[in-house]
Amino acid sequence: MDIIPVERIEKTILIIRGQKVILDADLAMLYGVSTGVFNQSVKRNRHRFPQDFMFQLTEEEKNEVITICDNLKKLKFYRGLPYAFTEHGAVMAASILNSRRAIEISIYVVRAFIKMKETFSQHRELFKKLTDLEQKVALHDVHIRSLFNVIQQLMEPPPKPKNPIGFRK
C-alpha cells in the first residue's frame, strides 16, 4: 500500500455548510475504488449514514466546488450530485468497504481531520485575541479623539469679551 501524506488528504477536506467534509470522488480515490463502486456501497448501507455523516450537495454547491477547486474540475462532467462525508462518514465508509486499504487509509483521514481541527482551534484563539485587541484600540481611538478635541478647544483664543450690559460711568 502506498502511504498517503496527511497533507495530501487535508487538501481534499472542504468546508461546506459549515462542516469539514470530503467528497465521494476523493474518498473513493483514497480508498482505492471507483466513485461508482464507492457510492453503490454507500447506497446499499444508507442506514449507516445519517445527515451528520453524509449529505448530497446541491447544484449550486457543486458548481461552487468546481469553480474553487482545481482538482475537482472533473465533477463538471459528472451528471449526478456528489456526496459529502464528514469525519464520521468517512470512517463509516471505510468500514462498509471492508478492505485493508480502506481501513488503513481511514486512519490517515481521521488524522487529517484532527490536524485541521487543531489548526482551526489555533486560528480561532488568534482571531479572538485580534478581536480583543481591535476593540481596545478602537476604545483608545475614542479617548484620543476626546483628548484632541479638548486640546483644540484650549488652544483656541478666548472669545472677545462682549460689551457689558448696563450703564457706563
Q: What is the pLDDT of residues 76-85, one digit of tens each?
A: 767 788 999 9
Q: For 99-117, write each residue's pLDDT tens digit.
A: 777 777 777 777 777 777 7
Q: For 17-38, write each residue's pLDDT tens digit.
A: 888 888 998 888 888 888 888 9
DSSP string, 19-30: EEEEEHHHHHHH
The half-sphere exposure of 140 on its side-chain side, counting CA atoms within 13 A, is 6
| Percent share of the chain, pLDDT over 70 | 85
- 10 against 38, higher pLDDT: 38
pLDDT at 5 over 70: no
The cell 449550486 sits on which residue? 60
Other C-beta atoms lying within 10 Å of the C-beta of residue 27: 29
Per-chain mean pLDDT for the chain: 79
Bridge partner residues of 85 (DSSP)? 22, 54
pLDDT at 55 over 90: yes
d(CA 90, CA 43): 14
Dig out the grid coordinates for 149 from the structure: 478635541
d(CA 79, CA 91): 26
pLDDT at 73 over 70: no
- In sign, the C-alpha dihedral spanning 42, 47, 50, 56 is positive
Break the chain down into helix, strand, coil percent, rounded to 5. 65, 10, 25
d(CA 156, CA 124): 48
pLDDT at 126 over 60: yes
Sorted by where each begins, the domain ranges of the chain are: 6-122
| 45 Cβ contact partners less than 8 Å away, ≥ 6 residues apart | 96
